[in-house]
Amino acid sequence: MIDKTAIIDSKAKLGKNVQVGPYCIIGPNVEIGESTIIHSHVSISGNTKIGKSNKIYPFVSINDPQDLKYNGEPTNLVIGDNNKIREYVTINPGTVGGGGKTVIGNNCLFMISSHIAHDCQVGNNVIIANNVPLGGHAIIEDNVVIGGNSAVQQFTRIGKMAMIGGMTGVLHDVIPYGLSIGNTNIIPSILSSKPP
């Protein structure tokens, strides 16, 4: 079902059973896979390919990178299958200086007001809680969980199965299977060690 108030460019490609809610805007170079549901007031532009069976909630914005060096170059965003992108999430495509592509895997949950910046690489089964921004060029591997109100600095890598505690500023890479917590991220074992 396509709501009559949605504005969909004639060049956009929508798969079977795609639903587009009221007041959405979908640009000419957007491709949306089958059975994806786009709720109301969603804006999707750029060279964006979205897979099948995603759920995109109201007021999501998938638009140009927030990078002052970006001058409208044709860069890309690829989103996989079965993701849940909740209200007010923002996602940006890549930039020429960062390889030109932002990639998101499958089965992820991006909670309210999280942000995926330009040139990020996000794996499968990733959970990013409310109000978490990923800076540009961040790499988030499979099965990572990032707690609410955290922030991930640009060019940071978080290894697979790692968990970031809520309200943590991630300034350093995090090892796979690691737990990172604190005002600025540290490894919990450091907290318990005694000084020499």
Any idea where the domains of the chain sit in the sequence? 7-64+71-192
- pLDDT score, position 190: 55
Alpha carbons 26 and 130: distance in angstroms, whole number: 25
Q: pLDDT tens across 81-118, in order?
A: 999 999 999 999 999 999 999 999 999 999 999 999 99
Task: Sheet with 13-14: list strands edge to edge.
Answer: 13-14, 30-32, 47-50, 76-79, 101-104, 121-122, 139-140, 157-158
Share of the chain above pLDDT 90, in %: 92
State yes or no: pLDDT of 124 exceeds 60. yes
Q: Which CATH class is domain 7-64+71-192?
A: mainly beta
Please tell me which residue in 51, 136, 147, 148 is annotated as part of the active site: 136
Alpha carbons 29 and 76: distance in angstroms, whole number: 10
- pLDDT score, position 182: 85
Relative to beta strand 25-26, strand 7-8 is parallel
Bridge partners of residue 13, in order along the sequence: 31
- pLDDT score, position 194: 57
Query: Given pLDDT bands bounded at 50, 70 and 90, which one contains residue 184?
Result: confident
Q: What is the mean pLDDT of residues 40-60?
A: 98
Question: Is 118 a catalytic site residue?
Answer: yes
Question: Is 41 a catalytic site residue?
Answer: no
Alpha carbons 176 and 151: distance in angstroms, whole number: 18
State yes or no: pLDDT of 193 exceeds 70. no
Question: Is 3 a catalytic site residue?
Answer: no
Please tell me which residue in 39, 41, 118, 137 is annotated as part of the active site: 118
Q: Where are the alpha helices (DSSP H) in the chain?
A: 188-192
- pLDDT score, position 183: 87
Do the beta carbons of residue 46 and residue 66 sit within 8 Å? no
Please tell me which residue in 27, 119, 123, 178 is annotated as part of the active site: 119
